[in-house]
Amino acid sequence: MFKHIYMKYLLGLDIGGTHIAGALVNAADGEMSDESYHKHTFHTSARREDILEEWIYSIECILKNSKIADLEGIGIAMPGPFDYVNGISLMKGLEKYDALYGMNIKDALKTALGLPENFPVCFRNDAVCFALGEAWKGAASAYQNVVAITLGTGLGAAFLENNKPIQHGENIPEGGTLYQIPYKGTKAEDYFSSRGILKRYEFYAGEKVDGVKAIYDRAMRKESVAIKTFSDFGNELAAFLEPWLFKFDADCLVMGGGISMASCFFIDDMKKRLKNHSLFLDVITSNLGDKAAILGAVKDFKNNKVNMDNSTYRKTNQYLLPVKKDAEGNKKYDIYPAFQLGDNKIYEGIDSLVEFIIAQKTVIMDGYAGVFWDKLKSDLAKIFPQKLKVNIADTRDWFLNQEEIDKLVMPYLGSKDSVWGTKCDKMLKDFFNKEKISNCLPDPDCDINIILGTGAALSSWKAPVIYFDMPKNELQYRMRAGSVTNLGNTRSQSDDEAYKRFYFVDWVLLNKHKKNILNKIEIIADSQRPDNITWMFFKNLECALQTMSENVFRVRPWFEAGAWGGQWIKKNLIGINREEVNYAWAFELITPENGLLFESKDLLLEVSFDFIMFLFNKNILGKNNAARFGDDFPIRFDFLDTVEGGNLSIQCHPSEKYIKENFGENFTQDETYYILDADKDAGVYLGFQEDIDPQQFREELEQSNQKSIPVEITRYVQYHPAKKHDFFLIPNSTIHSAGKGNLVLEISATPYIFTFKMYDWLRPDLDGEPRPINIEHAFNNLDFSRKGEKVKKELISKPVVINA
């Protein structure tokens, strides 16, 4: 089984009302180190210094076979009340942690452990962490809408949708908590907690007992009063939860906490009550126990991990494009290759646009997905002179409602569990209410009128367009951080769902819209730096693009880590972030993602590659190819790095007929591997063995996927040693993979995301989640005639000396 290399660890801590527990968790795959697990109880009513000393002791026990330098971050599950953003305890009058009231726990832990000031430490409510842990690695991992409750000294609750905590909305209680909801003249926590059960038992039995465990022991001895206590508890708990389970459309209710260990005496009563009221969901108990909150704290840390400046709007370790290019640069490999415009062609800052806007009086501010329109609106309001009356209309007011948009996009998104959909044939205007667009007019009583937002140029306003562009890789970083969503979307969604919608719907619409309004654009702005845009007049961009289209040029490369990524790129390329765990890809040119950089007096501006294709595709491709490929640039060049890394997945790409009929693409993916560097044991998987049995191969792949059983791939697929300068041909439908130890220059046709993985070495992705396996699609495309000696003859190039 594949193991990640150069991995660091996350420290997960569960701080409870009577205990602290924790463990080290592999930052890549989320596997907990059992030998590091430590738990002990202590007096939470002790002095501040003593409590902190207990915590530090536990952390030292967890780290006994490791060191602080191995840590990537710390995630902590903490009861409330607590300021989870700043790490400040707000617990008071609860007979636990009173001494910590007002204390900055985050700073105290960093100081005690000798951690740097910017070391990431994340806090999250303990019930939410329990839910995240069970949904990630535990009993609730197969469900979409999960309600989790913890039953102990208090009542904890969390609502998860697609593994993301939901804390606001009409379908959940405010804050996503249940403890404070009124119930029978008191709050729910007084009823559904250890003290509630103890009071109930005392009422029935006429005697006090020392803890819920004592009631459990009596129930185990078949004492009727103890059994009735738990049975009534279960019935009333189900009745209390019923309206929230119904509103949230829960698939699963998972229970944890000390009381849940007695669930054998009340879970059946809960199930019966819910079923009788037509709630057919699974009611289950934790299978992780007190490790759930530890794993959940780690999962929350991973969800919120952002780049080095601790900003929260982008989730990546890649550097943001600087406003100005380093004058020295890198002579060997320039990660910011820019076309020189000459002096005074690029301007810096939103304030530098104000003079233009005031002169025009009415302007249209359109742009791509991912632009922070609220911030732009706020910045403009601050900059305009106070004497001016400014009207700013927002295109987000035009969108159809969520239900209408869902209905519109559904035909293009494929099945819910599919990675792929079909290219959308709608237009951007179809997502808006046409009446609202026509009713949006400049205010004649205002000095300045601005219509702002994606699609603004659809208005009838007679005004110049300022277009705010956004590189697609930067848009994805914002998407992963949850700071942007799909067009018109107002509900929570997973990264995979958002990306699928972007790729098959939003980007298609927005590219068509961008092309349609080219003749209206007067200014182009680079909006990837929220605090400091750069911009230029579109006529200057158009001149530069024409010159580029007639000459050799480079695009801005971008880099991405991956499950199999290596260390060659990280060690050899200057200017990239060397704190990244690895680099799997360096995309030198993949036009759906790469942008074009321009420079004027050190100022940098980036636009998407689409612009040069919209305007000068014939210059780029030639007349005949432009007729065939339109605005698509059909070739990509990228580097695959598996040096000191792992194998790529065993995969294939669709046939041209299949990709057209099923996904609406214009061409398919044919590849070549040119080996730029290789370890002595490096190799490439390519083609089938001569005696391949397709049915047996498929059955073994499916068994592996279902039961996590390793496959001896070379029984079915050929492995060819690879050395520097070797060249492999990989037509579509051919089974293949780059083995570990290679730096590959991949040159291929690129519809981009259509890779059908059959086997991925039983490893998770860097986020700890399994990568999708696509056996059905793969076997609809595999060419089983590419096997045996035919592969060596037809697909592996052999160098020959040509006589002069």
Evaluate whether residue 178 is within a structural domain. Answer: yes
Q: What is the pLDDT of residues 307-324, one digit of tens each?
A: 333 356 888 888 999 999
* CA quadruple 91, 97, 103, 104: dihedral, nearest 10: -90
Q: Are residues 209 and 114 in the same domain?
A: no
Measure the CA–CA gap between 537 and 467, rounded to whole angstroms.
10
Residue 39, Cβ density class (10 Å: 0-12 exposed, 13-18 middle, ≥19 buried): middle
Average pLDDT, the chain: 92
Q: Are residues 111 and 177 in the same domain?
A: no
Average pLDDT, stretch 592-617?
Answer: 95
Evaluate whether residue 327 is within a structural domain. Answer: no
For residue 720, is pLDDT > 70?
yes
Q: What is the pLDDT of residues 189-205, one digit of tens each?
A: 999 999 999 999 999 99
364 falls in which pLDDT band (50, 70, 90)? Answer: very high
Q: Are residues 283 and 217 in the same domain?
A: yes
For residue 328, is pLDDT > 80?
no
Cβ proximity of 421 and 663 under 8 Å: yes
pLDDT of the residue at 607 = 98
Evaluate whether residue 296 is within a structural domain. Answer: no
Of 223, 257, 287, which one is at a domain's C-terminal end?
Answer: 287
Helix and strand totals (H; E) in the chain: 24, 35
pLDDT of the residue at 188 = 93
Q: Are residues 181 and 239 in the same domain?
A: yes
CATH number of domain containing 787: 2.60.120.10
* CA quadruple 183, 184, 185, 190: dihedral, nearest 10: -60
Q: Are residues 98 and 164 in the same domain?
A: no
CATH number of domain containing 416: 3.40.50
For residue 46, is pLDDT > 60?
yes
- pTM value is 0.66
Evaluate whether residue 625 is within a structural domain. Answer: no
Q: What percent of the chain has pLDDT over 70?
A: 97
Evaluate whether residue 726 is within a structural domain. Answer: yes
Judged by average pLDDT, the poorest of 254-258, 322-326, 497-501 is: 322-326
Average pLDDT, stretch 277-285?
Answer: 93
Q: Are residues 391 and 536 in the same domain?
A: yes
Evaluate whether residue 39 is within a structural domain. Answer: yes
For residue 3, is pLDDT > 70?
no
3-state secondary structure of 71: strand
Of 547, 579, 606, which one is at a domain's C-terminal end?
Answer: 606
Q: Are residues 382 and 470 in the same domain?
A: yes
Q: What percent of the chain has pLDDT over 90?
A: 73
Between the alpha carbon of residue 596 and those of residues 335, 588, 607, 802, the distances in Å are: 12, 12, 5, 39
Q: What is the pLDDT of residues 367-383, one digit of tens each?
A: 999 999 988 988 898 88
Do you know the residue count of the chain? 804
Q: Are residues 24 and 151 in the same domain?
A: no
Average pLDDT, stretch 221-236?
Answer: 96
pLDDT of the residue at 423 = 92
Measure the CA–CA gap between 474 and 792, rounded to whole angstroms.
41
Tally of CB atoms within 10 A around 483: 17
Judged by average pLDDT, the poorest of 151-165, 292-306, 424-438 is: 292-306
Measure the CA–CA gap between 650 and 648, rounded to whole angstroms.
7
Q: Are residues 183 and 67 in the same domain?
A: no
Q: Which domain holds residue 777?
A: 642-795
Between the alpha carbon of residue 51 and those of residues 18, 19, 186, the distances in Å are: 11, 10, 32
Of 254, 287, 320, which one is at a domain's C-terminal end?
Answer: 287
CATH number of domain containing 60: 3.30.420.40
Residue 804, Cβ density class (10 Å: 0-12 exposed, 13-18 middle, ≥19 buried): exposed
Evaluate whether residue 530 is within a structural domain. Answer: yes
Q: Are residues 660 and 727 in the same domain?
A: yes
Q: Are residues 437 and 526 in the same domain?
A: yes
| Tally of domains in the chain | 4
pLDDT of the residue at 330 = 60
Judged by average pLDDT, the poorest of 183-187, 215-219, 545-549, 640-644 is: 183-187
Nearest Cα residue to 758 out of 739, 741, 738, 735: 735
Q: What is the pLDDT of residues 94-113, one digit of tens each?
A: 778 888 988 889 989 999 99
Cβ proximity of 219 and 265 under 8 Å: yes
Range ranked top by mean pLDDT from 172-176, 208-212, 424-428 = 424-428
For residue 766, is pLDDT > 70?
yes
- Is the N-terminal amide bond of 471 cis, ω within 30° of 0? no
Q: What is the pLDDT of residues 670-716, one digit of tens each?
A: 999 999 999 999 999 999 999 999 999 999 999 999 999 999 999 99
Q: Are strands 595-600 and 338-340 parallel, antiparallel or unpaired?
A: parallel
For residue 23, is pLDDT > 90?
yes
Evaluate whether residue 461 is within a structural domain. Answer: yes
Give 717's contacts (C-beta < 8 A, 6+ positions apart).
650, 685, 686, 687, 688, 689, 735, 737
For residue 168, is pLDDT > 80?
no
pLDDT of the residue at 309 = 37
pLDDT of the residue at 119 = 85
329 falls in which pLDDT band (50, 70, 90)? Answer: low
Q: Are residues 347 and 282 in the same domain?
A: no
For residue 575, is pLDDT > 50?
yes
For residue 306, is pLDDT > 50?
no
Cβ proximity of 610 and 518 under 8 Å: no
